[in-house]
Amino acid sequence: MKQSKSFYRFLVAVLLALAFGLLALVFGMFLLGCGNGVVKTGSGKTTESYIAFTKTDAFNLRQVITADSSVSRTVMWQSNAEEKDAFVEYRMIKAENAAIQTQKEHINDKFTDNGKTTYVHTVTLKSLKPGMEYEYRLGFGNRRSQWYRLNTAQAYSSYKALIFPDSQSAKYKAWENVAMPAWQRNRDAQFFITMGDLVDNGEHAYQWNEWFTRIGPMITRIPAATVLGNHETYTMDWKVRVPQAYLHYFQLPEGTPESYKNQFYSFDYGDVHYVVLNTQMREMEEFYPNLLRDQLAWFKTDMEKSKKKWNVVLMHKDVLRYGFLTRKTPREEGFSEEGKTFMPLFDKYKVDVVLTAHLHTYRNRGHIYDFKRDVKGPVYILTGVAGDVRYPNLWKRHSLDVAIAPQPETNNYMVLEASTDRLRFSCYLPDGKKIDEAELKK
**DSSP symbols for 205-225:** HHHHHHHHHHTHHHHTTS-EE
The whole-number average pLDDT for the span 16-20 is 52
pLDDT at 34 over 60: no
Q: Report the percentage of the chain scoring pLDDT > 70.
A: 89
- pLDDT tens digits, one per residue of 382-434: 999 999 999 988 999 999 999 999 988 999 999 999 998 999 999 999 999 99
The confidence band for 242, taking pLDDT boundaries of 50, 70 and 90, is very high
Q: How far is CA 385 from CA 43, 86, 197, 198, 382, in A?
A: 46, 37, 10, 11, 10
Q: What is the pLDDT of residue 250?
A: 98
Strand 59-64 to strand 107-113: parallel, antiparallel, or no bridges (unpaired)? unpaired
Q: What is the pLDDT of residue 333?
A: 96
The confidence band for 14, taking pLDDT boundaries of 50, 70 and 90, is very low
Note whether 56-151 and 159-441 share their fold. no
Do the Cβ atoms of 407 and 397 come closer than 8 Å?
no
DSSP state, residue 68:
B
Q: Tell me the whole-structure pTM to 2 decimals.
A: 0.89
Identify the helix (H) or strand (E) that includes residue 441. strand 434-441
Compute the CA torsion angle 198, 393, 336, 193 (nearest 10 deg).
Answer: 30
Q: What is the pLDDT of residue 36?
A: 39
Lowest average pLDDT, out of 122-126, 285-289, 326-330, 410-414, goes to 326-330
Angle of helix 173-185 relative to helix 205-214, nearest 10 degrees? 30
The whole-number average pLDDT for the span 167-183 is 97
The whole-number average pLDDT for the span 129-148 is 96
* Nearest alpha carbon to residue 252 among 314, 301, 181: 314
Cα 101 vs. chain centroid, distance in angstroms? 24
Q: How far is CA 372 from CA 356, 382, 386, in A?
A: 18, 17, 29
The whole-number average pLDDT for the span 110-127 is 96
pLDDT at 54 over 60: yes
The whole-number average pLDDT for the span 35-63 is 70
pLDDT at 68 over 90: yes
CATH number of 159-441: 3.60.21.10
Q: What is the pLDDT of residue 336?
A: 98
Q: What is the pLDDT of residue 327?
A: 83
pLDDT at 158 over 90: yes
d(CA 70, CA 344) in angstroms, rounded, equals 32
Q: Which is more confident, 96 or 262?
A: 262
Q: What is the pLDDT of residue 47?
A: 53
pLDDT at 175 over 60: yes
Q: Which is more confident, 35 or 369?
A: 369
Find the angle CA(176)-CA(182)-CA(186) to the nearest 5 degrees: 140
Q: What is the pLDDT of residue 24?
A: 45
Domain boundaries defined on the chain: 56-151, 159-441
**DSSP symbols for 378-432:** -EEEEE-B-SS---TT-BPPPTT-SEE--SS----EEEEEE-SSEEEEEEE-TTS
pLDDT at 22 over 60: no
d(CA 226, CA 198) in angstroms, rounded, equals 9
> 56-151, what's its fold?
Immunoglobulin-like (2.60.40)
The confidence band for 346, taking pLDDT boundaries of 50, 70 and 90, is very high
> How many helices and strands, by DSSP H and E, does the chain display?
8, 27
Q: Is the dihedral of CA 300, 301, 306, 307 positive or negative?
A: positive
- Rounded to a whole number, what is the distance in angstroms from the first to the last CA of the chain? 101
Q: What is the pLDDT of residue 97?
A: 75
Q: What is the pLDDT of residue 42?
A: 45
The confidence band for 340, taking pLDDT boundaries of 50, 70 and 90, is very high
Backbone phi and psi for residue 386, each to the nearest 5 degrees, phi listed first: -135, 25
Rg of the chain taking only CA atoms, in angstroms:
27
pLDDT at 37 over 70: no
Q: What is the pLDDT of residue 193?
A: 98
